[in-house]
Amino acid sequence: MDPVVIFHTTSDIEARVVSALLDSRGIVSFRASGNPQAILPMTVNSLGEIRIAVPSELAEEARALIESHRETASGAKVVRLRDEFSALEARLGYRFHDQGLLEHALTHRSRAAEDVSGGVADNESLEFLGDAVLGLVVADVLFRRHAGRNEGQKSKIRASVVSTQSLARHAERLGLGAHLLLGRGEEKTGGRSKPALLADAYEALIAAIYLDGGLEAAAAFLERELDDAIEASAAGALAHDHKSTLQERLQALGRALPDYRLSGESGPDHRKVFTVEVVVGGEVLGVASGLAKKEAEQEAARMALQRLGE
């Protein structure tokens, strides 16, 4: 029943792959110190190796399972285990030089808190950096592609693109949740699908790419990832922010600011229709109806713009 060391490596990523592989087959494993008889809460021994041990009666099965998941080079030479993150990197369109950065980006604080060695860092600092890189890249894209938009419009587009909901959707599309390194408690409460965790990991991922490949690599990744979202938000801003456009048009003409007045309501309570008129200097420039007041106001503003020749 004594534990037997069946695998050793200097890569923490590889050790995690092996542990997860064994766990998937119901084989309990331990990280061991240099003495295979002393199972201690340590990640490495004095030689910098991580050793994984299993109960002696499961050693043969564990070794066979690990061998079945090794890659083989020409001449049947056994090399390192398949890369845990290769599929994710393919989806990212970016291959890390330092995979430790990618692992760091995916490590939630709940996982770091459970590591008794104190050698695991969570991704919160990377998240902070990634947020800054994200904001810079999106602002740069808007500056280059939408120079004609005013500051307020560009700010609204950027806010939409970098929102928690938007980033979480991008993270889901990449399958980021499946790769998060979570603590047991967070795992049990569905952390892999929580929008806030996904968005944070996405920002940390941006920082990891930036640190690994520089701003050019991070910008290329984000432009590929966010191109549709940026253009959709920009189109939506044009289509739906008629009120801001009307106000800017009136200011340019030296006229008074618009006033939106509710001129009527109709229909049952559960489906009321609101009629709104936009008045400028006592003159009604547009009248429109909608199921929501804001909807009616936007349509009234659009009609006013048409009347002004916009």
From the candidates 127, 131, 186, 212, give the one annotated as an active-site residue. Answer: 131
- Cβ atoms 262, 290 nearer than 8 A: no
Q: Residue 135: is its pLDDT beyond 80? A: yes
191 and 106 in one domain? Answer: yes
Q: Which of 218, 240, 262 is the last residue of a domain?
A: 240
Burial class (CB in 10 A: 0-12, 13-18, 19+), 186: buried
| Gyration radius of the chain's alpha carbons | 28
Number of H helices, E strands in the chain: 12, 8
Average pLDDT over residues 249-276: 86
From the candidates 84, 186, 203, 225, give the one annotated as an active-site residue. Answer: 203
Total structural domains within the chain: 3
Phi, psi angle pair for 33, to nearest 5°? -80, -170
The pLDDT tens digits for 176-190 are 999 999 988 898 899
- Cβ atoms 110, 183 nearer than 8 A: yes
Residue 152 pLDDT class (50, 70, 90 cuts): confident
Q: Residue 72: is its pLDDT beyond 70? A: no
In sign, the C-alpha dihedral spanning 70, 72, 78, 83 is negative
The pLDDT of residue 200 is 93
Q: Residue 87: is its pLDDT beyond 90? A: no
Annotated catalytic, 186?
Answer: no
The pLDDT of residue 105 is 94
Distance CA 151, CA 147 (A): 9
Query: Lowest mean pLDDT: which of 3-12, 57-66, 250-259?
Result: 3-12
Higher-pLDDT residue of 255 and 68 is 255
User: Which long-range contacts (C-beta less than 8 Å, at least 24 apart) are formed by 304-309?
Assistant: 304/246, 304/258, 304/278, 304/280, 305/242, 305/245, 305/246, 305/249, 308/246, 308/249, 308/250, 308/253
281 and 181 in one domain? Answer: no
Tokens for 61, please give them: 């099965």
Classify each residue of 22-46 as buried b or exposed e, where b means 16 or more C-beta atoms within 10 Å of its C-beta: beeeebebbbbbeebeeeeebbbbe
234 and 109 in one domain? Answer: yes
The pLDDT of residue 77 is 36
The pLDDT tens digits for 9-66 are 766 667 777 877 787 677 888 876 444 444 333 334 444 567 888 888 888 888 888 8
- Cβ atoms 171, 193 nearer than 8 A: no
CATH number of the domain bearing residue 275: 3.30.160.20
235 and 115 in one domain? Answer: yes
The pLDDT of residue 24 is 64
Distance CA 274, CA 287 (A): 11
Distance CA 48, CA 41 (A): 15
**Would you give the end-to-end CA distance of the chain in angstroms?**
83
CATH number of the domain bearing residue 78: 3.30.70.1530
Residue 237 pLDDT class (50, 70, 90 cuts): low
181 and 260 in one domain? Answer: no
The pLDDT of residue 38 is 40
The pLDDT of residue 273 is 80
Q: Which of 54, 83, 112 is the last residue of a domain?
A: 83
Confirm whether 92 is domain-assigned: no
Q: Which of 240, 265, 281 is the last residue of a domain?
A: 240
144 and 75 in one domain? Answer: no
Domain that holds residue 257: 242-307
- Cβ atoms 65, 25 nearer than 8 A: yes
Annotated catalytic, 2?
Answer: no
